[in-house]
Amino acid sequence: MGADLINVHSYCTGDWTASSGPDAGARAIYSAVTGEQIAFAGGGAWTVENMLQHARQVGGPALRELTFHDRARALKALANHLNEHKESLYALSTMAGCTRGDSWIDIDGGIMTLFAYASRGRREMPDSTVYLDGDVEQLSRNGTFIGQHICTPKLGVAVHINAFNFPVWGMLEKLAVSLLAGVPAIVKPATDTCYITEACFRLMVASGAFPEGAFQLIAGGTGDLLDRLNAQDVVSFTGSAQTALMLRSNPHLLANSVPFISEQDSLNATVLGPDVTSDSPEFDIFINEVVREMTTKAGQKCTAIRRIIVPQTQIATCIDTLSARLNSVNIGDPGLKETQMGPLVSASQRQDVLDINAKIGQQASAVTSTNGLSVEGADGEAGAFVAPTLFHCPDPDSADAVHSMEAFGPTATIMPSRDLDHACDLLNRGGGSLVASLVTHDPAVAAKVATRSAAWHGRIYINDRTSAKESTGHGSPLPYMVHGGPGRAGGGEELGGIRSVKHYMQRTAIQGSPDMISAVGKTWVPNTSTSSQDAHPFTRTFTELQLGETLKTDLREITLDDIEHFAHFTGDTFYAHMDEEAAKANPFFPGRVAHGYLLLSFAAGLFVQPDPGPVLANTGLTDLAFQKPVAAGDSIRVELTVKRKTKRNDDYGEVRWHVALFNQDDEPVATYTLHTMNAY
């Protein structure tokens, strides 16, 4: 192999290992644009067993030492580093056929996903090593035996097997999730584009953001890696349904219940609402969305639109408009500014697309131009160029290929629907998809499609004139929204906020006394032992405050004058506070009662220590419940308990306080959680 070829290295047990020559199993990698060999990968002198040991014994323990917030901060540092050095990745991405816009989705999209999880991790996960899943469950009458679900990181390795079309995003979106969970990863990118992944990986290692062993890279084949996994490991696969089936049915994985998350190809569809005509703004939205989805990354997106479902009355107009737009797409060297669509990733990918087009062509007819391919700035034969192809299938009920064959390129089929029910039937015939979209300005249409079709799709994207400007696009998976889908799409959920982090953790039901549950979850729960200090808790710093530290106040009587004064002062003269007869007639009140907000205000008056001190701000109040009415002549007192502490930065942290109000008979009157920021 030539000296100027990229020798794609693997990163194993803390070292970079070269790929060997073709005799030792390396595969040649070609430029999508010129067809010339540019790199080779595989057959390096490393062993999967050493990599697994390194992840399990070095990376895993180091990651589990960190809290969720530490890991989130590391993700942010990693994202910042990649952001500063990303330009080198853009140059490589062009060789895979990507225009600047295509590369942006992969490279900047990947970095943004890291940022998104860095932020969610700190906002929605605790600054601890245990994630609380749901509320405490009362398991006994007197509250001495309770339950709590927790999630902790699996003790093994996340094996990420990725598809060729997103060499950067595909790696980073999975790493964001598994690293946040606290599980080290072995990344296996698709060979066709692994030179881009390797370049990104070198930046990741150089960033020093994560401890050694947190991630390793395999360029080329994985050998018997899957046969060495156990129930503490997770395989997360992205690729074709065929490869997924082959890998997930590995007998060793099945025998050992190794979790297998799968994101596969899918026959994503879009529906034009029956309310849309060619002169409504939604028509242009629909056409633009279809053209964008068919041509971005030359249609090599798992979420790309493959089926276009249009009311019978609109089909001729849609075909004319779409074919005119697709016939005028500038195809060429992806490095040229004017190029709108580059080549497919490789000659073999082009052959696959042409073969599947031929099969779809037996049930549908091509309506885009067949006058040959015009390619600007590159050799159309040597590079893996294809033209966008729109098929028209007039009888979609009896055609199978259009609902089951994925041409992973710029190919889609338009088909007529008789009515909205029929459109939903066709939408669902893909057998499970990552995303279905609907363009309509009629909320009733949206409600019907969601009700009839949501179960078959991971995401439903609805667009109209109101959302068009800010909408993110049919084909864009977002970190906070589910990415994955049922059936044909693999049944996985790669993204979806903290939901996807849980795939790399074990959920365990913990049962015991409140003291035990508090200690495990590092969160005070009611009925746990409390402590008190001489100093008022508002005079103690974030560091000094202890979980369970409680302030108990004296009683304060509520008078009729208080209620009257509060009503007129605030303007809240609701009858339950002002009119004895009307209040009595209400099933909830014994007569006139104090305002709930009056009770909260008096509670603050009872527990606040007024002097300047460590409490910087009251940032909110959650989980408020009024449990018993308080009438004039009743008294209330407060118990204020430190429930949870979360460090925010070196200056301050958030304290959550359990606030419980009782009446003179010690009956609970109200509870809530108070949030304050306290100086460190």
302 binds ligand NAP (CB under 6 A): yes
Of the two residues 405 and 426, which places its CB atom closer to ligand NAP in the complex?
Answer: 405
Kindly indicate which of the ranges 261-269, 396-404, 444-452, 555-563 contains the residues binding ligand NAP, using the contact rule CB under 6 A.
261-269
Identity of the residue, 164 or 566, whose beta carbon is nearer to ligand NAP in the bound complex:
164
Count of C-beta atoms within a 10 Å radius of residue 532: 12
| 234 interacts with ligand NAP by CB under 6 A | no
| Of positions 263, 493, 639, 654, contacts ligand NAP by CB under 6 A | 263
The values of phi and psi at residue 639, to 5°, are -115, 120
Nearer to ligand NAP, 52 or 445 (CB): 52
Closest residue to ligand NAP using C-beta atoms: 239
Strand, coil or helix: 568: helix
By CB under 6 A, is residue 435 in contact with ligand NAP? no
> Per the residue annotation, which of 173, 198, 263, 493 is the catalytic one?
263
Stretch that binds ligand NAP, among 124-132, 189-197, 277-285, 607-615 (CB under 6 A): 189-197
Among positions 198, 265, 293, 493, the unique one binding ligand NAP when judged by CB under 6 A: 265
Stretch that binds ligand NAP, among 103-111, 234-242, 639-647, 663-671 (CB under 6 A): 234-242
Select 25 or 377, whichever has its Cβ closest to ligand NAP: 25
Q: Is residue 580 annotated as a catalytic residue, yes or no?
A: no
Binding flag, residue 238, ligand NAP (CB under 6 A)? yes
- Interface size with ligand NAP, residues (CB under 6 A): 24
DSSP one-letter string for 399-445: --HHHH---SSSEEEEEEESSHHHHHHHHHTTSSEEEEEEE-S-HHH
Distance CA(238)–CA(486), nearest Å, equals: 14
Q: Which residue has the tokens 């549950």?
A: 517
Q: Indicate which single residue of 172, 190, 214, 615 sits in contact with ligand NAP (rule: CB under 6 A).
A: 190
Nearer to ligand NAP, 83 or 240 (CB): 240
What residues pair up with 483 in beta bridges, in sequence order?
495
Q: Is position 197 an interface residue for ligand NAP (rule: CB under 6 A)?
A: no
Residue 23, judged by CB atoms within 10 A of its CB (0-12, 13-18, 19+), counts as exposed
Shortest Cβ distance from residue 300 to ligand NAP (Å)?
A: 7
Is residue 51 a contact residue for ligand NAP (CB under 6 A)? Answer: no
Q: Please, which residues have CB within 8 angstroms of residue 666's CB and are 6 or more apart in sequence?
A: none
| 3-state SS class at 551 | strand
Site string for ligand NAP, 352-391 (x = CB under 6 A): ----------------------------------------
In order, the DSSP letters of 347-403 are HHHHHHHHHHHHHHTTTSEE-S--S---EESS-TTTTT----EEEE-S-TTT--HHH
159 binds ligand NAP (CB under 6 A): no
Beta bridge partners of 341: 331
**Bridge-partner residues for 234, per DSSP?**
158
**Choosing from 12, 302, 318, 393, which is the catalytic residue?**
302
Does 239 participate in binding ligand NAP (rule CB under 6 A)? yes
Backbone angles phi, psi at 613, to 5 degrees: -170, -160
Chain centroid offset of residue 16 CA: 31
164 is an interface residue for ligand NAP by CB under 6 A: yes
Q: Is 302 a catalytic residue?
A: yes
Q: Is 411 in the site for ligand NAP (CB under 6 A)?
A: no
By CB under 6 A, tell whether 280 contacts ligand NAP: no
CB atoms within 10 A of CB 195: 24
Q: Is 670 exposed, middle or buried (0-12, 13-18, 19+ CB in 10 A)?
A: buried
Interface contacts to ligand NAP, rule CB under 6 A: 161-166, 188-192, 222, 238-240, 243, 247, 263-265, 302, 406, 408, 434
**What is the set of active-site residues?**
263, 302
